[in-house]
C-alpha cells in the first residue's frame, strides 16, 4: 500500500461547480495536486472564472454559465458531453445565501437559495448520469461530492432561513440519492464546511481573528483542510464511504462547549 494507491486522482476527469473562488477553488487545487487530468470549473461571472483557470494552469477548463436553471444545467451538460466521453468526479459546490429579518424575508430570497442549493445538485447529477456511469465500476467508482454546511447541522446566529433549510435538505438528499446511485457505482457523499474565508463567508474572510476565537481549534479553515478532504472522498481512500457527511469545521459542531451551563453540583 502506498499513498499514491490511496489518494491519487491520476487520469481522472472532474467538474467543480462554483470552482473559480472560495471553497470551490480550494477543491480544484486539491484535485490538481492529486493528479487530476482535467478539472472543469463553472461560474456565472466569466472574468473571475477565466482568471482562475489561467492562474491554475492548462488542466483547468472554464465553462461560463448559470446552473440555477434547468436550461443552464442542460447547456453545461451539453458542453461537457461534447468534450468528454465520461466524468469521474462531480462536485456540487455552487451555492447562494440570503439573510433578512423573519418578518421581511422575501420569496425571492427563498426561491433563489433553494433552487441553486437543492434543486441544482439533484438535476445536474441526474443529467450527468450517463457520463458518470460511462467509466464507473466497483473497482473504480465515480464520485459525487455535495458541499453542504455546518449550518445544515445546527442553528447559526443569523436569519438565513432558506440557506439553513437548503443545507439541511441537501444533507438528507445526499443520503437518499446515495442509496440509489451506489448500485450504478456512483458514490455520493457530502462535505459540511465550517468557517472558510470566501465571498459567502465574509466574517471568516474579513474578521479572521474574531471568527477563529469561536472555533474550538482556534483557526479558520484553509485550502489544505478543504482540498485534502475532497481528495479523500474522491480517491480510493474514500471508496467505502457512501452517503456520509464529512464535517470539516475545526470542531464547531461536535466539540463546541456552551458558554453557559448548569453547575453539575447544583450550585453547592
How do residues 85-112 score in pLDDT, each as one tens digit?
999 999 999 999 999 999 999 999 999 9
Please write the tens of the pLDDT for every residue from 234-244.
Answer: 999 999 999 99
Task: Determine the pLDDT at residue 267.
Answer: 37
For residues 33-45, one letter each, b for 16 or more C-beta atoms within 10 angstroms of the residue's C-beta and e for the rest, the string is ebbbebbbbbbee
Among the listed ranges 1-10, 139-148, 209-218, which one has the minimum average pLDDT value? Answer: 209-218
Q: What percent of the chain is helix, strand and coil (3-state, nearest 5)? A: 45, 15, 40
CB 20 within 8 A of CB 41: yes
Please write the tens of the pLDDT for every residue from 104-133.
Answer: 999 999 999 999 999 999 999 999 999 999
Inter-residue long-range contacts of 83-86, CB under 8 Å, 24+ positions, other chains counted: 83/40, 84/13, 84/38, 84/131, 85/131, 85/134, 85/135, 86/13, 86/131, 86/132, 86/134, 86/135
CA–chain centroid gap for 141, Å, is: 19
Task: Determine the pLDDT at residue 264.
Answer: 41
Q: Taking 60 as the threshold, does the pLDDT of residue 268 lie above it?
A: no
Instruction: Supply the pTM of this predicted model.
Output: 0.93
CA–chain centroid gap for 48, Å, is: 19
Q: Does the structural domain 3-248 have CATH classification 3.40.50.720?
A: yes
Residue 255 banded pLDDT, cuts 50, 70, 90: confident
Among the listed ranges 8-12, 21-25, 62-66, 201-205, which one has the minimum average pLDDT value? Answer: 201-205
Catalytically annotated residues: 163
Question: d(Cα 212, Cα 175) in Å, to the nearest integer?
Answer: 31
Q: Taking 90 as the threshold, does the pLDDT of residue 265 lie above it?
A: no
DSSP 244: -
Q: Taking 80 as the threshold, does the pLDDT of residue 161 lie above it?
A: yes
Grid coordinates representing 92 are 456540487
Amino acid at each position: 500500500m502506498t499513498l499514491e494507491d490511496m489518494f491519487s486522482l491520476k487520469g481522472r476527469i472532474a467538474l467543480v461547480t462554483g470552482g473559480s473562488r472560495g471553497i470551490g477553488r480550494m477543491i480544484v487545487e486539491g484535485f490538481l495536486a492529486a493528479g487530476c487530468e482535467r478539472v472543469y470549473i463553472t461560474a456565472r461571472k466569466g472574468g473571475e472564472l477565466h482568471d482562475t483557470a489561467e492562474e491554475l494552469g492548462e488542466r483547468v477548463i472554464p465553462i461560463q454559465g448559470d446552473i440555477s436553471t434547468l436550461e443552464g444545467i442542460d447547456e453545461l451538460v451539453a458542453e461537457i458531453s461534447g468534450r468528454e466521453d465520461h466524468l469521474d468526479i462531480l462536485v456540487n459546490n455552487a451555492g447562494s445565501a440570503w439573510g433578512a429579518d423573519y418578518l421581511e424575508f422575501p420569496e425571492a430570497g427563498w426561491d433563489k437559495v433553494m433552487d441553486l442549493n437543492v434543486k441544482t445538485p439533484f438535476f445536474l447529477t441526474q443529467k450527468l448520469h450517463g457520463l458518470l456511469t460511462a467509466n464507473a465500476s466497483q473497482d473504480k467508482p465515480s464520485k459525487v461530492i455535495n458541499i453542504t454546511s455546518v449550518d445544515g447541522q445546527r442553528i447559526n446566529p443569523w436569519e438565513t432561513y432558506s440557506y439553513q433549510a437548503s443545507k439541511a435538505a441537501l444533507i438528507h438528499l445526499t443520503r437518499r440519492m446515495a442509496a440509489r446511485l451506489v448500485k450504478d457505482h456512483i458514490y455520493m457523499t457530502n462535505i459540511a464546511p465550517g468557517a472558510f474565508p470566501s465571498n459567502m463567508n465574509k466574517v471568516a474572510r474579513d474578521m479572521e481573528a474574531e471568527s477563529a476565537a469561536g472555533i474550538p481549534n482556534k483557526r479558520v479553515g484553509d485550502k489544505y483542510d478543504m482540498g485534502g478532504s475532497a481528495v479523500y472522498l474522491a480517491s480510493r481512500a474514500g471508496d467505502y464511504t457512501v452517503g456520509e457527511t464529512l464535517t470539516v469545521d475545526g470542531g464547531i459542531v461536535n466539540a463546541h462547549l456552551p458558554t453557559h451551563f448548569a453547575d453539575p453540583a447544583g450550585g453547592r
